Structure 1
Amino acid sequence: MQRRIRTLRIQAATAVAGLLAVSALAAAPATAATPAAAPDYCAAQCNDILPAGENGNATLADILANRIFGTRPAHTDDQLGPYSALASNYPGLTDAGLRSFFNDASFGVPASQVASTLQPRSDVTIVRDKATGVPHITGTTRYGTEYGAGYAAAQDRLWVMDLFRHVGRGELSSFAGGAEANRALEQSFWQAAPYTEAELQAQIDQLATSSPRAQQALADANAYLDGINAYIDKAYSARTFPGEYDLTGHIDPITNAGSIDHFKLTDLVALASVVGALFGAGGGGEVQSAQVKQAAEARYGTAEGDRVWQSFREADDPEAVATLHDGQSFPYAQPPVDPRGTAIPDAGSVVPEKLVYDATGTGTSTAATAAKGVLPGNLLTAKHGMSNALVVSGRYTADGHPVAVFGPQTGYFAPQLLMLEEIQGPGISARGAAFAGLSFYIQLGRGQDYAWSATSAGQDITDTYAVPLCTTDGSPATTASDSYLWHGQCTPMERLERKDSWKPTTADSTAAGSYTLVMKRTRYGLVTARGTIGGKPVAFTSLRSTYRHEADSIVGFQMLNDPSAVQSAATFQEAAQHINYTFNWFYADAAHTAYYNSGDNPVRADGVDPGLPVLAEPQYEWRGYDSASNTADYTPPAQHPQSVDQDYYVSWNNKQAAGFASAGFGNGSVHRANLLDDRVKALVRSGTKVTRSALVQAMESAALADLRGEDVLPELLRVIRSAAVADPSLEAAVRTLETWQHNGTQRRETSAGSHRYADADAIRIMDAWWPLLVQGEFRDGLGDALFGALTGALQINESPSGGQTGPVSGGVSANESIPHKGSSFQYGWWSYVDKDLRSVLGDPVAGGLTRPYCGGGDLTRCRQALLDSLGQAVAQTAAQVYPADDTCSAGDQWCADTIVQRPLGGVTDDKISWQNRPTYQQVVQFTGHR
């Protein structure tokens, strides 16, 4: 490989010129006529954006040119600048100015804007526009339409599609190299969705017999695959395929020896399992919750400890901002008053299940770059927030039509996980974004007279069962036993294996290696840990309702793309019901808005607490549970949170509705969604009619806000200002924070491109102070064991940079964050600090923490604890607060926050200033309806 790279670099200049010429010829416009646009009721008031750019294909020549000359293929990063620029320019935004920061998302392409026209078959035409290079696919037959969608997907995202079909199978290292991050990532996905090839096929077979729509979806998927594979064949022969295949050794760049495997239906199921695990699951933290309960009871006694645990759990906090505020209640997953079947592990007995076996060569790499992979290793395991939505009813808008600003936060990559496209054909009429490799339907976008989007809901569809271990020969069971009791019978666990091996590479400095990934499976789900209960060995399993049903949502997405299926708010909700992943769905047309929460919500046995492990006994199983098919009784559509024409909707992965219990910890009085709710509520109640630009301004103002500064700093300052601050350095720090509060506690540049924050000192103080103040406020009162258990269940901090780790308890960092990811302030102790300080100040607190912790409830002592931690924060240098990483030098505050377009391939894109907003985003307002 080293020799090959040297040869390629020597020949780079001629290769770049020659292969770019081949690429240009391949993209030359065909002679086919441009099809007429579909009916469009948006009247040029639909916009969208997806940084960095639509083009995710770079040939070897393109990659070398990027590395040597800094050039990039056309449309690789042309959406990055407008996306980034909104942060500096949103205060003066007007409706007319939206086009400076968003694309025109109208249907079709005006003749003057056609960049290329291609007919891969006679029954489909792919037109690309000059501005963005987005494919507009129009077919005269259903097959041709989907064939074209597959062909365009491969043109734009073939390498990413290939990466993720391997991630979904736990085979990333053998495909992209054995870097530590690659191994960590494939391990986490193998834990979440281990499937044999037969099980992937079984999901397809089940769809084939389920309904006419499902059968049509499979026909669409097959046509889509034909388009992908046709492009692979053509690109291979013309050498226009992604250059990453050359650089990873799959194809020899000199002889062209090698191949790109064709895609098949089971690849799409593997891809769907990745998307579902990342964005459409919820629950599963029951063992951590039990450990918090256990530590609380050890500290305070059983009765009081249980109340303390429930107060931190905040399952149905009365102060939590909810998407539905119209008085409706949707009870689900509520903690029972008298729980039954709870399985609390013995203290200190829980050990994670072994995953990696027979490892060779994995520890031989010493280079710093060995940790790097094509994706973050903790992409799945790290808690990370996603997606937001702002929707306002036409009653409050300037022209009487609803306005929506919404989109998913899927991370920032080069190229993106999502791709833009328009698909027009028999039974399909939509434009928007779709996950690479699943783009035979638009997943989030607009139809002829309606638009829709989603945020991750994360409601509890995953339960943990404590399964008694046994031996088939009757010998005493231990925690190492691989058989378990199923309805009184000792049953061997299934063993799911995936062997992965990788070759040495110079790209990531790893040695050759291999290992076998093993998951044990029971009829109560996948084994995640082992321990004891009352001294008896058990396995803790994870049972997810959507496991073995990754492909079921295909029908719902098909309906969202079908203009005959979605004609109103009600029919939109019917389509969303067919999606089994946990999403909050939002809708807007010219007259109505709507919301629906989707997901296969299992109906639990009476008295079972969804927030704790459950004994694996028949009386505590999900109602109607069939272990062979992993199906159960699910809550009916009427019991899912839903609404039509509420005055406004906001969502930022927050609580859905009253009574709808949150999975996990920390969904209380202060949540990231408060930043949206406060702004949209003010707009609606101001008496000034809402415009598209005004709603974008509300979104972007929230995107630059520091949640701690906006919603918790006021209480911190009230406590500190309850007496005079004698220390001059602390007084100066407090005044700096007060100035920042007066200025709106945002993280904004002094001017566009300055790379320096206004109120930089205050931001640095807050970044350093937060983990220290939480420790000073809570650790003494909770004790080390309970504090450590709580930080294991909910991280303390999620700042934009992720560099402030704060205290570490039991090996758990107080800030678990993917650096440079943009999305921030979803997970943290904001609510706990807010409720506790208000209690100390004597304010009313609904759903409080049962007792004050700061200073033991004494205002003077609390104030001193805050000042002590503030003093520690002020003493930290910028280099300590913002440590160096592979992107930024130590102390560079702006750079520490920046969003990095993490390379998934050979071409890199520039970093941009931090803003906490969706990756793909729509701004829509329809003026007419069919």
Structure 2
Amino acid sequence: MGRLRVVTLLVLALGALVGPAKASAQDPAGLARNILPSGQYGMPLAPADDQAILYDGLTPLFDNVTPADLITYFKSEALGPGTDGPLIEDDVPFAGVRILRDKFNVPHVYSETYEGGVLAAGWIAAKDRGLLLQQARYNGRAAIIDAPGLSAIELIAGLQDFRPSAQTEAVTAKQTQALKDAGKEGKAVLRDIDTFVKGINAYLEESGSTNAPWTRNDVYAVNAVKNQFLGVGGGDEARRTRFLAGLQQRLGARKGKKVFNDLRQFKNPRSITSVDGKFPYGRIPKKPSGNVIIDPDSFETTYSAPATPPQVAEPFNASNVLMVDKSHSTSGRPIMVGGPQIGYFFPGLVYEIDMHAPGLNWRGATSAPFPGYVLIGRGEDFATTLTSAGGDVIDQYAETLCGGSDTMYRYKGRCRSMENFDAGTLNGDPYSFLTTVHGPVAGYATVNGRWVAISEKRSSRNKDVLDLLFNRRLSNGQVDSAKSFFKAAAKTPQTFNSFYIDAKQIAAFTSGRLPIRPKSVDPGLLTNGNGKFEWRGFLPAKRHPQGIGAEDGTIVNWNNGLARGFGAADSEWGRNGSVARNDMLTYNLKRLRNGAGKWSPATITSAMNAGATQDIRAIDTVPLLARLLQGSPAPSPMAQQMLDLLVDWRAAGGNRLDLNEDGDIDHPGAAIMDEAFPKIAQNAMAPILQPQLEELDSLFNIFDQPPGGQYSGWYQYMDRDLRALLSKKRLPDEFNIAYCGKGKIGPCRDSIWVAIQAAGERLTADQGSPDPTTWRSDATAERIDFSPLPLISMAYTNRPSGIQQVIWFKK
């Protein structure tokens, strides 16, 4: 492992290499703080939990974060260690390279050459994330080949063992050609990958590891994990088409399609967005001749895996950012508070590096697939973060079977045989699947009683690694403005909302290799796979949602659609709602700005931290319920008191905090909402959807209950439906069909009161008291635990978990 020695800041300042003290003195940031709750360490031994403790300490402050708290509960993100000494030096076998660790174990790299910086990044990856690297390198191949039924992140978190076949290795290696085809930049990335791999293998050799040396394919595989986990959208057309078939069978073709289009919220003139302007993408054709409607209840998945590992990590639609421009900042410079929510893993999926080498000057979160590049963090005079965009980059096709076989299909007039893909083994058992020209076969269904195969096509397949073109530009000085940032972000095929801040501008861009579909294809339904309805190219960068600044001076995003006109993917029915989690952030920003309408880093952080423990139903749904039920007789004094307590809960902040640490959420409103909301939502939608409520819940959850991220929820449906019911004129975002009470206010009110009354009776029985003021929800059930290895248990919070930055620049 090498010799370690303590190094003083004075000695470093006098050293031959650029010293941390000098780097900090030149830092143009006015404030640069960050926190990575998973920390820098690879094993759960003290002080591995140092950053998690700080992260957890911010939660109870709610909306009262002070400037001093930013120093206490975040650590430095200065270029250089700042005040986070004393420093310890790693012995490394690379000439002209020094790695200096601060008190949080963050490595500060100082190299005389570009290559030395990349070598050091590989060394750090192997040293700080050895367990993660070994788990991800093979399991990640499942993401590259789109193995049906397997999630690479679940394999990793569940400590499963996928072993790739020669066929899988050959497909993985295609990423090399994708880089070569990208020209000089792609070839430069390839050289960096080779150097990075040398750094990893140097550490493996020095530490006496028995693990096989790393290769390019290992880097490609870990990059594909990021793509599958966070960088795709779509690919759920079969289940959605099956749901439509059921609606049309019950309600008729016309009404069934209207209900389907309501619930999918493809586009919405009042959707919650982050940038100004419209960016049209996708359309619903009147006559979708390029689609196939399968028979109700006919879709079945067919996975060859003998045993699918338990689901231990949900895909996360959970990252947020709050940015204000210089005109609305107390410093006169733009401010950003933001980061990705990627779950709570230990060892962490990301780790931190402060990198200083010729051509590389950055600090922030990085990970194993980034060869000396920053993932999320800062350069010398700008910072960046991202949220998952969920763009529609995966389509499912209905393949017409032929030749009297389940493994033959018709494409462009020919009857073809499916190919068998031998993927390797999962936990020692063989794993294989069938493929068509479109991709892996995910299942079978029937159309008018005849079998069809369901295959999947992903636009970024065999191109995942091109994502590194973006990160290379972020790291090597090519990004120096919002416009150059847009050009860099357009390089990645993965679908993210990327955000930029410097001393003058705030900006955002939605990336992804977004297919242009034939006008006869509804993007939310199965496409006919006969070859006549293939993609017609990809959306050019200038038509991607993007913006510099905003009319109201803010860019705020919590995985909502970035701009209007941009159609939601079939898997993203909550992306374009008229209400969304974003409302908590904007609501808090509005009430926390100063008398001049401006914000400081502390007040923006307060808005984020309040939203992290608020319940979106308290902020958006309670006022709507109060309006609906106003003046109507409650079925009992208890039911009326329950409504009054919900209103009081919202007035008190609508949070789910347990400040007295007795194990219960402090306000009874949380208990009332948790018990009542599922039935309220079901009763509101039941007049039209009663037989299919459970199926709808499987497509778009009634509510993503904490400790979930509150991303999805029928509170969106209720908002549009009940506002229309209470309005005297037609609203721009009104649904095609009235749901609650079938559009009659009396029956609607009655159904909501019935749900509230029933919840009160259950709470009385469960909690042993008829007094609603004594009812409490269990706060311990919402606590956050790390996986697959334990770290600490933290109070519920809904905030960035990969890295969170609080930053602004003086120049």
TM-score, normalized by length of structure 2? 0.91
What is the alpha-carbon distance in structure 1 between the residues aligned to residue 659 and residue 83 of structure 2?
42
CA contact (8 A) 2:143 2:228 kept: no
Residue equivalent to 1:744: 653
What is the alpha-carbon distance in structure 1 between the residues aligned to residue 268 and residue 744 of structure 2?
25
Q: How does 1:397-436 map to 2 (within 5 A)?
A: 397-436=329-368
Residue equivalent to 2:197: 225
3-state SS of paired residue (2:465): coil
3-state SS of paired residue (1:348): coil
3-state SS of paired residue (1:573): helix
1:774-815 deviations in Å (ceiling 9; x for gaps): 22222243230x3233223211111104xxxxxxxxxxxxxx
**Aligned residue type for 2:806:** V
What is the alpha-carbon distance in structure 2 between the residues aligned to residue 192 and residue 661 of structure 1?
37
Residue among 142, 145, 170 paired with 1:198: 170
CA contact (8 A) 1:311 1:847 kept: no
Residue equivalent to 2:800: 918
CA contact (8 A) 2:499 2:509 kept: yes
Q: How does 1:475-874 map to 2 (within 5 A)?
A: 476-477=404-405, 481-500=406-425, 502=427, 514-563=428-477, 565-623=478-536, 633-646=537-550, 647-663=553-569, 664-666=572-574, 667-680=576-589, 687-751=596-660, 753=661, 755-759=663-667, 761-784=668-691, 786-801=692-707, 823-842=708-727, 845-874=731-760
Q: Does 2:74 match 1:109?
A: no
Residue equivalent to 1:394: 326
Residue equivalent to 1:252: none
**Aligned residue type for 1:724:** P
CA contact (8 A) 2:466 2:492 kept: yes
Q: CA deviation at 1:431?
A: 0.5
Q: CA deviation at 1:566?
A: 0.8
Does the C-alpha gap of structure 1 residues 189 and 530 become closer, same or farther in structure 2, counting only changes over 3 Å?
Answer: farther
Q: Does 2:263 match 1:312?
A: yes
Q: CA RMSD in A?
A: 3.0
Does the C-alpha gap of structure 1 residues 607 and 683 become closer, same or farther in structure 2, counting only changes over 3 Å?
Answer: farther
Q: Does 2:400 match 1:468?
A: yes
Residue equivalent to 1:248: none
3-state SS of paired residue (2:453): strand
Residue equivalent to 2:184: 212
What is the alpha-carbon distance in structure 2 between the residues aligned to residue 286 and residue 98 of structure 1?
45
Residue equivalent to 2:250: 299
What is the alpha-carbon distance in structure 2 between the residues aligned to residue 81 and residue 447 of structure 1?
27
CA contact (8 A) 2:683 2:752 kept: yes
Q: Does 2:49 match 1:81?
A: no
What is the alpha-carbon distance in structure 1 between the residues aligned to residue 533 and residue 296 of structure 2?
23
3-state SS of paired residue (1:199): helix
Residue equivalent to 1:354: 303
Q: Any stretches of 5+ residues in structure 1 without a counterpart?
A: 1-22, 59-71, 173-177, 238-258, 363-372, 503-513, 624-632, 802-822, 882-889
CA contact (8 A) 1:453 1:587 kept: yes
1:579-631 deviations in Å (ceiling 9; x for gaps): 110000110001111111110011212221111111113331001xxxxxxxx
**Aligned residue type for 2:99:** I
3-state SS of paired residue (1:798): coil
Q: CA deviation at 1:861?
A: 2.2
3-state SS of paired residue (1:236): coil
Q: How does 1:112-127 map to 2 (within 5 A)?
A: 113-120=85-92, 121-127=94-100
CA contact (8 A) 2:258 2:737 kept: no
CA contact (8 A) 1:123 1:140 kept: yes
1:858-894 deviations in Å (ceiling 9; x for gaps): 323222222222222223359979xxxxxxxx99711
Between stretches 227-236 and 493-502, larger displacement belongs to 493-502
1:824-854 deviations in Å (ceiling 9; x for gaps): 1101111111222223334654322323222
What is the alpha-carbon distance in structure 2 between the residues aligned to residue 171 and residue 706 of structure 1?
34
Residue equivalent to 1:50: 36
3-state SS of paired residue (1:620): coil
Does the C-alpha gap of structure 1 residues 441 and 182 become closer, same or farther in structure 2, counting only changes over 3 Å?
Answer: closer
> Number of residue pairs matched?
782
Residue equivalent to 1:289: 240
3-state SS of paired residue (2:499): strand
Q: CA deviation at 1:187?
A: 12
3-state SS of paired residue (1:46): strand
Between stretches 422-431 and 720-729, larger displacement belongs to 720-729
**Aligned residue type for 2:482:** A
3-state SS of paired residue (1:837): helix
Q: CA deviation at 1:44?
A: 5.0
**Aligned residue type for 2:666:** A
Q: CA deviation at 1:129?
A: 0.9
Does the C-alpha gap of structure 1 residues 192 and 307 become closer, same or farther in structure 2, counting only changes over 3 Å?
Answer: farther
3-state SS of paired residue (1:865): helix
3-state SS of paired residue (1:263): coil
Residue equivalent to 2:771: none
Residue equivalent to 1:368: none
What is the alpha-carbon distance in structure 2 between the residues aligned to residue 191 and residue 267 of structure 1?
12
Does the C-alpha gap of structure 1 residues 232 and 750 become closer, same or farther in structure 2, counting only changes over 3 Å?
Answer: same
Does the C-alpha gap of structure 1 residues 164 and 879 become closer, same or farther in structure 2, counting only changes over 3 Å?
Answer: farther
What is the alpha-carbon distance in structure 2 between the residues aligned to residue 189 and residue 228 of structure 1?
21
CA contact (8 A) 2:271 2:564 kept: no
CA contact (8 A) 2:302 2:443 kept: yes
Q: CA deviation at 1:546?
A: 0.6
Residue equivalent to 1:900: 785
CA contact (8 A) 1:142 1:220 kept: no
Residue equivalent to 1:63: none
**Aligned residue type for 1:347:** P
Q: CA deviation at 1:691?
A: 0.9
CA contact (8 A) 1:153 1:437 kept: no
Residue among 273, 278, 287 paired with 2:224: 273
3-state SS of paired residue (2:464): coil
CA contact (8 A) 1:569 1:587 kept: yes
CA contact (8 A) 1:776 1:869 kept: yes
Q: CA deviation at 1:573?
A: 1.0
Does the C-alpha gap of structure 1 residues 685 and 355 become closer, same or farther in structure 2, counting only changes over 3 Å?
Answer: farther
Residue equivalent to 2:770: none
What is the alpha-carbon distance in structure 2 between the residues aligned to residue 461 and residue 112 of structure 1?
43
CA contact (8 A) 1:28 1:116 kept: yes
Does the C-alpha gap of structure 1 residues 93 and 187 become closer, same or farther in structure 2, counting only changes over 3 Å?
Answer: closer
**Aligned residue type for 1:719:** L
What is the alpha-carbon distance in structure 2 between the residues aligned to residue 275 and residue 878 of structure 1?
46
What is the alpha-carbon distance in structure 2 between the residues aligned to residue 410 and residue 879 of structure 1?
38
Does the C-alpha gap of structure 1 residues 350 and 220 become closer, same or farther in structure 2, counting only changes over 3 Å?
Answer: same
Does the C-alpha gap of structure 1 residues 749 and 42 become closer, same or farther in structure 2, counting only changes over 3 Å?
Answer: farther
**Aligned residue type for 2:515:** P
Does the C-alpha gap of structure 1 residues 554 and 880 become closer, same or farther in structure 2, counting only changes over 3 Å?
Answer: farther
What is the alpha-carbon distance in structure 2 between the residues aligned to residue 685 and residue 832 of structure 1?
34
3-state SS of paired residue (1:539): strand
Does the C-alpha gap of structure 1 residues 538 and 685 become closer, same or farther in structure 2, counting only changes over 3 Å?
Answer: farther
Does the C-alpha gap of structure 1 residues 553 and 534 become closer, same or farther in structure 2, counting only changes over 3 Å?
Answer: same
3-state SS of paired residue (2:742): helix
Q: CA deviation at 1:114?
A: 3.5
